[in-house]
Structure 1
Amino acid sequence: MMMIGKDAMARSVRVQPGALAADGSLDLDARKRRIIRRGALGNAASPASQNVLAEAGTIQRVAKGRPLVSQGEATTSIAMISLGRVRLTRGLSDGKTLSLGYRGAGDVLGEAALGGVANHRESAIATEDVESLLVPLQVFKNLMASDANFAAVLVSSLIERHTDTEERLASMLFRNVEARLCEFLLKAAIRWGIPDPRGVLISAPFTHQEMASMIGSTRETVTLTLGELRRKGVIEIDRRRIVVLDRDALKSRV
């Protein structure tokens, strides 16, 4: 989902010092291979396929708040994300913007092009400094044809995202705001959670507006609902990050 052309290159900047400190001593090839192995897809690739990805890929860094791609742009590359988080949005004909979800380290962007979608159907905005490996679309297609394990993991990922979309639609139709918010927090804890003495810390700093956009509500309602969950001891707010204290209590509200 990510060919970075001249205009997008102008929007890209170096990640803040220290963001890649652990890899600062790695040469370019080693850094590419670290990115490839960051997610399940890269790890599923054979050594030969990993070599192809490393040789064909280009490391791209985009600063927080900058677009990686814009809706309607031609898709000529797929990005393998190694650092940061991006928000996917789609502009509607009435001028409104629909939030579609987030991608982060270990995820790929642009995979819809493998199914024949020629242009990006959504924009991708960096909510944190982002690093990824841009791989030409044709290289991905060739690897799908030559590496069965690589293809299987990629197809599984596509099916999983399709299922997530269906579940989100059903949730919007049949669940109230509290249930939708609790469901969002449960999924965020699985995707972005890290162990914490108090429970599970959702490492991604979602704003109340971002959560509201994802569940089809308002920022004010999300703020009130989070406050109620906090008073009941279900969650805790720690420097803009949410700690899930009682996962079972969240599940019971979905």
Structure 2
Amino acid sequence: MAEIDRSLVRALPLFANMTDEDLDRLLARASMRRVQISETVFEQGQKATHFFLLLHGRLKVTQVTPEGQQIIVRVVHPGDLFGFAQALQRDDYPGTPIAAAESVVMSWPNDVWGHFVEQNPHLAVNAMRTIGQRLQEAHTRIREMATEEVERRVAHAVLRLIDQAGRREQDGVRIDFPLTRQDVAEMTGTTLHTVSRIFSAWESQGIVKGGRQKLLVRDRPRLEALAEGQG
């Protein structure tokens, strides 16, 4: 297995306080793989043997409900931990990460975690902060789905994505990975037809452009107003 250069991960907040020696020991147990668009990293329900870090690209994590509906529960961004079933007190993976763009992931066997946390308590603190942010976002989405009209939910979802994965351009902010209307429907608990109708209306009003793939948000203040029910 090729040695992983610490410079690839040194800038990530998760490893910010680790010494070079500790980081090299952690990387010595890591594996790296490239994940092509639409390829899965692992499958929902598969026995959890490793935890993962996204180094490059974007992943969308899907779950299939007991009723057979597929939903997108989160988007994984560079520097995020994922597949950390131990933190959820379970021995299988709760979702399926699928590459939304060509991605590079690192993985470690689950038995690595305990040792490195003992040696580097700040690593556990950083990981818990990540998990806490993820839970907070999940709670926000649940509240939105329970209390808000569909257009507000879609506006909130797009705003979160441009904050997490936005790239500023001359005409606005573009989400830097392919995002289909079906993806947005699965993120917001609605139908493709409804999302298509909303995006078509937004495009005609100049709020967004190119809603089928790499979405460009041209009028963030208007989108924020819609998210707050002021449209």
Q: 1:38 to 1:108 in 2, by over 3 A?
A: farther
2:22 matched residue in structure 1? 49
Deviation, 1:187, is: 0.5
Identical pairs, percent: 21
The answer to whether residue 189 in structure 2 is matched with residue 216 in structure 1 is yes
Q: 1:98 to 1:56 in 2, by over 3 A?
A: same
Question: Distance between the aligned counterparts of 1:84 and 1:62, measured in 2?
Answer: 9
Task: Select 1:113's aligned residue among 67, 81, 86.
Answer: 86
2:203 matched residue in structure 1? 230
What is the correspondence of 1:126-165 to structure 2 with a 5 Å cutoff?
Answer: 126-165=99-138
Task: Select 2:176's aligned residue among 203, 213, 224.
Answer: 203
- Bigger Cα displacement from structure 2, 223-232 vs 89-98: 89-98
Deviations 1:188-234 (A, max 9, x none): 00111012111211112100000011011111211111121122222
Amino acid at match of 1:212: A
**Aligned partners of 2:81 and 2:130 also within 8 Å:** no
Structure 1 unaligned blocks of 5 or more:
1-27
The answer to whether residue 46 in structure 2 is matched with residue 73 in structure 1 is yes
**Aligned partners of 1:36 and 1:53 also within 8 Å:** no
The 3-state SS of whatever aligns with 2:47 is coil
Structure 2 unaligned blocks of 5 or more:
none
User: What is the root-mean-square deviation in Å for CA atoms of aligned residues?
Assistant: 2.0
Matched pairs, number: 227
Deviation, 1:180, is: 0.7
The 3-state SS of whatever aligns with 1:100 is strand
Question: Distance between the aligned counterparts of 1:209 and 1:238, measured in 2?
Answer: 11
Question: Distance between the aligned counterparts of 1:38 and 1:183, measured in 2?
Answer: 29
**Aligned partners of 1:32 and 1:57 also within 8 Å:** no
The 3-state SS of whatever aligns with 2:44 is coil
Task: Select 1:245's aligned residue among 204, 211, 218.
Answer: 218
Task: Select 1:63's aligned residue among 30, 36, 39.
Answer: 36
Deviation, 1:32, is: 4.2
The 3-state SS of whatever aligns with 2:215 is strand
Deviation, 1:237, is: 1.9
Question: Distance between the aligned counterparts of 1:46 and 1:154, measured in 2?
Answer: 17
1:93 matched residue in structure 2? 66
Deviations 1:157-205 (A, max 9, x none): 0100011110000000111111011101110001110121112111121
Deviation, 1:105, is: 1.8
**Aligned partners of 2:33 and 2:106 also within 8 Å:** yes
Deviation, 1:79, is: 1.2
1:9 matched residue in structure 2? none
**Aligned partners of 2:175 and 2:216 also within 8 Å:** yes
**Aligned partners of 2:57 and 2:101 also within 8 Å:** yes
The 3-state SS of whatever aligns with 1:253 is helix
